[in-house]
Structure 1
Amino acid sequence: MGDFFLSANLIRLFSRNPVTLRHRLAKNTTRIGRRFLKAFNIKISMKHPERLAELADKNYLAVANHVSYTDIIILASLENFVFITSVEMGKNVFLGSITRLGGCLFTDRKKFVSLPDEIEKFANTIKAGFKVMLFPEGTSTNGETVKEFRKSLFKVALLADCPVLPICIRYKALDGKPIDEFNRDLVYWYGDMTFAPHFMKLLGHSLSAEIDFLDPIYELEGKTRQTLSNDVYTQICDCYHQRSSPGSV
């Protein structure tokens, strides 16, 4: 963790251009994320990685389900994503520092008047060449299902006129045993759980996760944030519950 804070602060010190700064912070977060996978003993398997690869030279909106802070470590290790997180998270003394040094974008879910400006800012970030990651459930969950998506931020993709990549995260095993209602709280971070105690309990365990890159959505003409949100939700939810869907293998 010390390496992350040191390297990110050095990047901030020597990067004057805000776009260059965010690119460097995102790249640094990917580097550190890969180290964290080893430190946390997290093993990941990928399905359809070619879908991620075909978007390597494109800027786009990525959308994933969300159950724990480990989602961010895993996804950050795979690509130089810029994550959208909450203003509340940014105010947390420890996690807030991480989000700022990771180049995150912030949304105030309680201040709807700021939403149009946020959408424009996030869309402009994509247009500037970034891959932006959205967790549209709005919070992490207990993993029983995929919570209904908040649709407002899907307008970001419409405004940026960019592809959308749905991603399904499924945790398969803890210490070699399937994730179930008896051990899930060691992995999933949700509700009133506080970060530090949960983090300390997870240390020392091994974790297996499966990341499925679903069908990218390239054609946005005629779509609304409602229809786009529904299309992405259906893909992710079907994958999460292992239901067959178009493009699945």
Structure 2
Amino acid sequence: MRLGLHILQGALTIALLYRFCTERQQDRLRQRWSRRLLTILGIELSHDGLPQPGALLVANHVSWLDIYVINAVAPSAFVSKAEVRGWPLIGWLAARNSTIFLRRGSRGHARIVNQEIDQVLAMGRNVAVFPEGTTTDGSQVLHFHAALLQPAVSAGRPVQALAISYLDGEGHPTAAPAYDGDLSLGGCLANILAHRRLAARLCAAAPMETTARHRRDLAETARADIIRMAGLSAPPATEPATAAEAPGAAAAAQP
């Protein structure tokens, strides 16, 4: 009941208040809402380091919760597949929450998206991407799609790696929040609620300057930083992602 009321409150905030708020005020509302969501779900948040304003944030992807973990620390615009925009309600919510929609396979549209990302970064705000292109169970970090880092390279903006980890009540790694494979959103939520207490940990590496660096080099360095900070093992860097882009729609349900 608390979760349902919180989601309703977020939707009403977007519909009634956002139009009267500056982008900074919207970020603060999004941050407060995300922190409250984690609290309702019994998830304790901790972080080691903070994202640098105006950086392209590159994170591993475990769950739909990842978006709220990042927003609870540093409210960001997220890059999502363009199909999400056409989803009933979710597409509207995503569009109202600074989501940048990417039409995959279109070079012309990619240039437009790159310009949108640069404009957000130039304002001192963060843009976050999940370069694995899919979620995992949290025990590994898949190959990074370096093309998602190109906007930062083209504009000379810093890239910063974020490692997201989930722990159980005893401090051990847990796959309870993982949203991968054939698991439904309802099944994932049930797994989370089955634990009275969980912890989410976000670690931020030092920002990387992008001048005179290739996007593949930046992607490999960011991936290695995430593996190190999260204490994970990794498959070969050339291993392709095994599924379509993960549910970027989760970026929608936030005020």
Is the pair's TM-score, using the shorter chain for normalization, greater than 0.5? yes
**1:233/1:201 CA distance change after superposition, 3 Å:** closer
Q: State the distance in 2 between where 1:236 and 1:177 align.
A: 19
Match of 1:33 in 2: 34
Q: The residue matched to 1:141 in structure 2 has which SS?
A: coil
Superposition pairs of residues 58-97 of structure 1, within 5 angstroms: 58-93=53-88, 95-97=90-92
CA RMSD of aligned residues (A): 2.3
Q: Pick one of 170, 184, 195 that aligns with 1:194.
A: 184
Match of 2:229 in 1: 239
Native 8 Å contact 2:178 2:188 kept in 1: no
Q: State the distance in 1 between where 2:225 and 2:151 align.
A: 19
Superposition pairs of residues 171-182 of structure 1, within 5 angstroms: 171-173=166-168, 175-176=169-170, 178-179=172-173
Q: State the distance in 2 between where 1:70 and 1:62 align.
A: 16
Give the TM-score, by structure 2 length.
0.79
Shift of 1:166: 0.9
Shift of 1:162: 1.9
CA deviation digits over 1:82-120, x for unaligned, max 9? 111222333343543442332211112344542222112
Q: Pick one of 104, 107, 123 that aligns with 2:118.
A: 123
Unaligned runs of at least 5 residues, structure 2:
1-6, 234-255
Q: State the distance in 1 between where 2:107 and 2:189 align.
A: 32
Q: The residue matched to 2:203 in structure 1 has which SS?
A: strand
**1:189/1:242 CA distance change after superposition, 3 Å:** closer
Question: For this pair of structures, how many residues does the alignment match?
Answer: 226
Q: State the distance in 1 between where 2:60 and 2:194 align.
A: 25
Superposition pairs of residues 1-249 of structure 1, within 5 angstroms: 1-14=7-20, 20=22, 22-47=23-48, 49=49, 51-52=50-51, 55=52, 58-93=53-88, 95-173=90-168, 175-176=169-170, 178-179=172-173, 184=175, 186-205=176-195, 206-217=197-208, 219-241=209-231
Q: State the distance in 2 between where 1:10 and 1:196 align.
A: 28
Code of the aligned partner of 1:5:
A
**1:77/1:226 CA distance change after superposition, 3 Å:** same
Q: The residue matched to 1:166 in structure 2 has which SS?
A: strand
Native 8 Å contact 1:25 1:103 kept in 2: no
Q: Quick check: 33-42 or 89-98, which moved more?
A: 89-98
**1:119/1:201 CA distance change after superposition, 3 Å:** same
Q: Which runs of 4+ in 1 moved over 4 A?
A: none
Q: State the distance in 2 between where 1:8 and 1:27 align.
A: 13
Shift of 1:161: 1.8
Match of 2:239 in 1: none
Shift of 1:229: 1.4
- Choose between structure 1 and 2 for higher RCO, CA contacts under 8 A separated by at least 6 residues: 2
Shift of 1:33: 0.4
Native 8 Å contact 2:159 2:210 kept in 1: no
Q: State the distance in 2 between where 1:63 and 1:133 align.
A: 6
**1:113/1:179 CA distance change after superposition, 3 Å:** same
Code of the aligned partner of 2:122:
K
Once the two structures are aligned, what percentage of the paired residues are identical?
Answer: 23
Q: The residue matched to 2:78 in structure 1 has which SS?
A: strand
Shift of 1:127: 1.3
Native 8 Å contact 2:55 2:207 kept in 1: no
Q: Quick check: 30-39 or 156-165, which moved more?
A: 156-165
